[in-house]
């Protein structure tokens, strides 16, 4: 996988995903619930990437015998244009919804979640997020576009899980100072996730168009 796809891992995690991870760390069963949440998140991301990769691979295989070199170049341009349009739309959406970017107060209930509920939250936080579905699909399409193997998505996948595990890592590293640190992480992700989304999209756009 080309390294330019890695910044999208930040887009995948920033916002509600990281807020939920922070809430779980400050809950009743921080370690087990956090690990279950990360596992659920990882499962959902894997399904999206694999699904988009297999779908794009099958489509490419079906069209390849009937496509000339000029046609393939045109197809690659169309895919590149698709990436650009998607990123522009994500940036615009993030900016227009910046005032409503704070998670619902109902997320406070997450602190009461056990491992089973936390796993479900990990899956649902991806399933109900159009941005994350688009990002995951973009990764799968990028693999096919660059003729990479599915395993080349592992750096992106691992970075997503590592970023999501930051609250849990801080919990272990900071000890008694953990709660105050978690509060700061939560406040930042609640208030600035829209800005992070735009920055990441702009960086990725620059890499594509360079």
Q: The tokens 């919990």 sit on which residue?
A: 171
Burial 153-178 (b: 16+ CB within 10 A, else e): beebbebbeebbbbbbebbeeeeeeb
User: What pLDDT is recorded for position 193?
Assistant: 59
Q: Give the predicted TM-score (pTM) of the model.
A: 0.71
Crossing angle for the helix pair 166-174 and 30-63, to the nearest 10 degrees: 150
Q: Tens-of-pLDDT digits for all 210 residues of the chain?
A: 566 778 788 878 877 787 788 888 877 788 899 999 999 999 999 999 999 899 888 876 654 444 444 555 565 566 667 767 776 776 777 677 766 655 545 455 776 788 899 999 899 888 877 778 888 888 888 888 888 888 999 999 999 999 999 888 888 887 666 666 666 665 665 566 566 667 666 765 665 565
User: What pLDDT is recorded for position 166?
Assistant: 87
| Residue 80: CB atoms within 10 Å | 13
Asked if residues 21 and 174 have their Cβ atoms less than 8 Å apart, the reply is: no
User: What pLDDT is recorded for position 65?
Assistant: 46
User: What pLDDT is recorded for position 113?
Assistant: 81
> Six-digit token pair at 199?
């920055």
Largest CA distance in the chain: 64
């Amino acid at each position: 996988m080309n390294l330019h796809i890695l910044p999208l891992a930040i887009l995948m995690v920033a916002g509600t995903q990281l807020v939920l991870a922070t809430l779980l760390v400050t809950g009743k069963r921080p370690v087990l619930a956090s690990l279950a949440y990360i596992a659920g998140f990882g499962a959902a991301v894997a399904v999206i990437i694999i699904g988009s990769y297999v779908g794009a691979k099958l489509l490419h295989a079906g069209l390849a015998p009937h496509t000339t070199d000029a046609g393939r170049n045109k197809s690659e341009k169309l895919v590149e244009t698709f990436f650009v349009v998607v990123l522009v739309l994500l940036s615009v959406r993030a900016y227009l919804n910046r005032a409503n970017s704070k998670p619902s107060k109902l997320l406070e209930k997450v602190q009461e979640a056990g491992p089973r509920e936390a796993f479900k939250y990990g899956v649902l936080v991806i399933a109900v997020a159009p941005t994350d579905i688009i990002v995951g699909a973009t990764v799968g399409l990028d693999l096919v576009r660059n003729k990479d193997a599915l395993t080349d998505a592992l750096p992106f996948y691992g970075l997503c899980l590592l970023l999501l595990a930051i609250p849990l890592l801080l919990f272990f590293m900071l000890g008694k100072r953990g709660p105050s640190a978690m509060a700061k992480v939560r406040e930042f992700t609640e208030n600035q996730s829209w800005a992070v989304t735009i920055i990441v999209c702009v960086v990725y756009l620059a890499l594509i168009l360079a």
